Amino acid sequence: MTATPAIEGWFTTGAAPALVGTRCATCTTVFFPKADGFCRNPACDGETFEEVELSRRGRIWSYTDAQYQPPPPYIPAADPYEPFALAAVELPEGLVVLGQVAKGYGVDDLKVGDEAELVVETLYTDETGERSIWRWKPVTEMGQEADQ
């Protein structure tokens, strides 16, 4: 069964998933989540945007984890609660995007400045089935895992 994105239109779900943002047709500034209506660059009066897929890789700006279950509207994926890591990743488009960290990775696998890649995984399951979300997965160089 294929998971449905937990939020519509924010990311693609193919073999090489990517965040979907918008680019101002006037000043080319990229926004994620999507901006529409009016460009938020104060020097630009643009009102038309095109959708763009953002780079799938970036550098970790910072990271942490959630050792306690966050309050609603967070929907826990498991009972009992399983802590997860979070990362803010700086993309070549010049913006930083938050995300949970891919399953199986924790803060010990992360470092400011290291590379991370976007993946799509299941966030939670409700009566409509599995709901998916973008996550950041640390990029390990060939052989690095064996070294550890």
Partner 1 sequence: MSTSKDVAVAGVGMHPWGKWGKSFVTYGVHAARAALTDAGIPWQDVDLIVGGETVRNGYGGYVAGATFAQALGWNGARVATSYAACATGAQALDTARARILAGMCEVALVVGADTTPKGFLAPNAGERWDDPDWLRFRLLGMTNPAYFALYARRRMDLYGATQADFAQVKVKNAKHGLHNPNARYRKEVSVDDVLGSAVVSDPLHLLDICATSDGAAAVVLTSVDYARRHGLTDPVKVKAISTVTPTFPNTVMDMPNLSTDSSAVAGVPERTFKESIGHAAYEEAGIGPEDVDVAEVYDLSTALELDWIEDLALCKRGEAEALLRAGDTTIGGRIPVNPSGGLACFGEAVPAQALAQVCELTWQLRGQAEGRQVEGARVGITANQGLFGHGSSVLLAI
By CB under 8 A, name the one of 52, 58, 84, 118 that touches partner 1. Answer: 84
- Work out whether 75 is an interface residue with partner 1 (CB under 8 A): yes
**Rounded to an integer, what distance in angstroms lies between the CA atom of residue 9 and that of residue 19?**
9
- Work out whether 130 is an interface residue with partner 1 (CB under 8 A): no
Nearer to partner 1, 109 or 117 (CB): 109
Question: Are the beta carbons of 136 and 118 closer than 8 angstroms?
Answer: yes
- Work out whether 98 is an interface residue with partner 1 (CB under 8 A): yes
Tokens 């994105």 -> residue: 5
Question: Are the beta carbons of 135 and 3 closer than 8 angstroms?
Answer: no
DSSP state at residue 119: E
By CB under 8 A, name the one of 3, 18, 20, 96 that touches partner 1. Answer: 96
Which secondary structure element, helix H or strand E, spans residue 144, and what is its range?
A: helix 144-147
- Work out whether 6 is an interface residue with partner 1 (CB under 8 A): yes
Site string for partner 1, 32-71 (x = CB under 8 A): xx------xxxx-----------------xxxxxxxxxxx
Binding positions for partner 1, rule: CB under 8 A: 6-7, 27-33, 40-43, 61-75, 84, 86, 88, 93-100, 107, 111-113, 123, 133
